[in-house]
Structure 1
């Protein structure tokens, strides 16, 4: 499968025409429904105009600040001076929003991004109603959710509708190149099985509660900090990391969670926030009652925000870690570290101060092979046919892959690329079987791992 088409298609999506489709194409248009948008990812799906998607979007949600924040982002996209969108949001507000959505079916794809406590139920309800679903991660945060999600996948196959989650990290160019290089034996060598202490694939993602989205400070709902509503890091951010590990290692090979996955251990720990910090992020003057079990001395809340999963996929050891701090270092942002260990070289992504907080990818040989540089140059030249403009820069004992700016599309643009992928699935009439199997395997790792996690 040629993953570079998602990268190369991003510019086309961002500059797409805003004119309505001709009448003879109206039947082919995809009509979006947004269900209970409580996370800004629901709006990022609409940050760009995507060919084939109707400009009218039906929104079903309860009244409140979360819906208001969602509509404000859509208004921001519609009114920006450069490449404005032209969405027309038709909103139903009421406590019976879920029933109204399934009864009306005023759309062909339901986008779900919000409170994770009810997300698995929303997914199941939409699928049972015969509606396609594109859901933000995570689609499950408990082992009970996992069992419900499996039922929804079976129902989706029976009703011939699509159920898929939004995996933006597969569209990040450094992740794509890391995946490509570990399948270049002349450069990477062979996969090591690794150990729990030194796994073959090790990924760490650091996020921040206070951040900017679409140029403005992000206001998070108070429930975001409640693990029963948001889920903690092992079932939230680690969803992306587990997905990346599976995708990098096995590409389109279908995984069986019962026979191919072995969980070893899991850990979790907390991030303290002062009341002032909590108020800055949420706008709340006090900690809500549902956060009281995590409040210490009335002024500190300990957020269940960090976690590590240790597991093996077909015998290959993986460690996935997600951490949250209040805010990034001066001039910094979210960061990502990933290492794939091979018998000839390690392929490493770093995103720290030395990289100006931008992800960069390095090739670090582990053997003194005289022909290594020649093999690496040949591999980069070959990959340059798929990713034009990439080059090598020698840095002491390692090589940095220089990536042209047009391939660095950015996190927010990745949502349009996921939507493009989903549109291809809609055209084909199904999500590939391997994607379904590997989504089930992924959510088994996160939910079963969280169930076994010990507090540090």
Structure 2
């Protein structure tokens, strides 16, 4: 049935009477739900027909089911038409046919860097989920990929959704206001100037239903260790917030001081619940004990200096969040006049909340804070302050609180803008390299111990 459906769509879209929109997506080997989230929204400049290339199997079926769910959503249905090619030669077939001009990648990270390099070598733009690379060997290929993309005049970019979280946006905005924040401190190894911590869960809900993880997601050789996966977002935010608009040189500006990693144990029953696979695959046996409990090296911590500023990022993976909770984020930026803190615990009802905690206590400073908030509120209407024992809670209107899934539309829109206007900031590529240098060097350092 799928083959017949594909043939019909192919015949329709091939008709010269139908003008193609300038952006045509190719979804390659989708194995992570982020590939589908790119299509949770429609975009005016993107053709509704998406060509999908993958092996036959559960990863592909789950991806197509999510797209179908978006197409049939009661509140905001999309209108995507998926043209599917299934076969072991899917990658070569995609490169040969070039049915689109933007390759969307979100899946097995062991293969992703090769997909990226060969796609840009073939003159295709690439929009890739994090991480684009999971080890030092891959980092060398990624450098080559960026050089090739520049030479071939194609756009290679990763999906940094966390830049679109409103508390992070405002934390960055306030840190750029000297009257309120002062200047970013240098910090120390014991008390870094910037700390970002993230807690994630294997068992979670996505788009209203329980997420089925592929079995390979628990294999760090395929997914990557936690220290090179979720930390990609955290390292990106350190760079984006602490050094806005600054071009980083990873050979000079990044110094790793320490890194560590540790496992989360997934029981056999949890594995079956999570993946819908009853038998633990052979490739996971090297992480398993006699009971088939799997030790997943998904937790990590990186301590480093970036342009002389002490930074710390860490990620923790638990199996399942307690009822009423979910993934959480903690962040602090230490200024000479105030600390800017994002908390997401029980006190905040597990919703990210931004606080201004001053080191200066006088009427003149309080007045400067009020003026700064009024200035910020000109762009972010309705932002205000609520006094507390430590300073102020930043009150943010619900209109700005989109949620993680909606952030995929925001970052996709930004990518499409860069693609159409050729206006990606000059710092983006060197800073992507700095980011992946940090994570892959940390992974190397952690594995030495």
Residue 10 of structure 1: aligned partner: none
User: Which residue in the other structure is 2:253 paired with?
Assistant: 260
User: How far does residue 454 in structure 1 lie from its aligned partner after superposition?
Assistant: 5.1
Which of 66, 74, 77 is 2:70 aligned to?
77
C-alpha deviations, 1:280-332, integer Å up to 9, x for none? 10112132211112112324211111000111110011100011000112210
Contact kept, 8 Å, 1:207 with 1:335, in 2: the verdict is: yes
Mapping of residues 135-150 of structure 1, within 5 Å:
135-150=128-143
Do 2:331 and 2:342's aligned partners in 1 also have CA atoms closer than 8 Å?
A: yes
Question: Which residue, out of 358, 362, 367, partners 2:355?
Answer: 362
In structure 2, what is the equivalent of residue 300 of structure 1?
293
2 CA distance for matches of 1:401 and 1:330?
A: 26
1:101 aligns to what? Answer: 94
Which of 401, 419, 424 is residue 394 of structure 2 equivalent to?
A: 401
1:430 Cα deviation after fit: 5.7
Alpha-carbon distance between aligned partners in 2 of 1:232 and 1:399, rounded to the nearest angstrom:
37
User: What SS class does the counterpart of residue 336 from structure 1 fall into?
Assistant: strand
Distance in 1 between residues matched to 2:207 and 2:386, nearest whole Å: 33
Aligned length: 435
Please report how far the alpha carbon of residue 27 of structure 1 lies from its aligned counterpart in structure 2 after TM superposition.
5.3
Per the alignment, in what secondary structure is the counterpart of residue 358 of structure 1? coil
- C-alpha distance in 1, partners of 2:299/2:447? 12
1:426 partner SS: helix
Question: Is the aligned partner of 1:32 residue 2:48?
Answer: no
Q: Aligned residue for 1:6?
A: none
Query: Is 1:164 aligned to 2:118, yes or no?
Result: no
Tell whether 2:45 aligns with 1:57: no
| Structure 1: distance between partners of 2:236 and 2:296 | 24
Instruction: Give CA deviations for 1:334-371 in whole Å, capped at 9, x if unaligned.
Output: 00000001111110000111111110000011232332
Residue of 175, 179, 189 corresponding to 1:182: 175
Q: Is the 8 A contact 1:267 1:455 kept in 2?
A: no
Distance 1:391 1:24, change over 3 A: farther
Greater CA drift, 292-301 or 254-263: 292-301
1:410 alignment partner, one of 399, 403, 419: 403
Displaced runs of 4+ in structure 1, greater than 3 A?
A: 23-28
Unpaired segments ≥5 residues, structure 1? 1-19
Q: Deviations over 1:149-182 (max 9, x none)?
A: 0000000000000000000000000000000111
User: What CA distance in whole angstroms lies between the structure 2 residues aligned with 1:253 and 1:455?
Assistant: 32
Counterparts of 1:140 and 1:187, CA distance in 2: 38
TM-score (norm 2): 0.95
Instruction: Note the C-alpha offset of 1:219.
Output: 0.2
| Aligned counterpart in structure 1 of residue 117 of structure 2, from 115, 119, 124 | 124
Who is 1:340 aligned against? 333
Q: 1:431 offset after TM fit, Å? A: 3.4
1:376 correspondence with 2:369: yes
- TM-score in terms of structure 1 length: 0.93
State the superposition RMSD in angstroms: 1.5
Q: Report if aligned partners of 1:163, 1:431 keep a CA contact under 8 Å in 2.
A: no
| Alpha-carbon shift at residue 28 of structure 1 (Å) | 4.8
| CA distance, structure 2, for counterparts of residue 83 and residue 455 of structure 1 | 50
User: Deviations along 1:25-69, whole A, 9 cap, x unmatched?
Assistant: 945521000000000000000001111111000000000000000
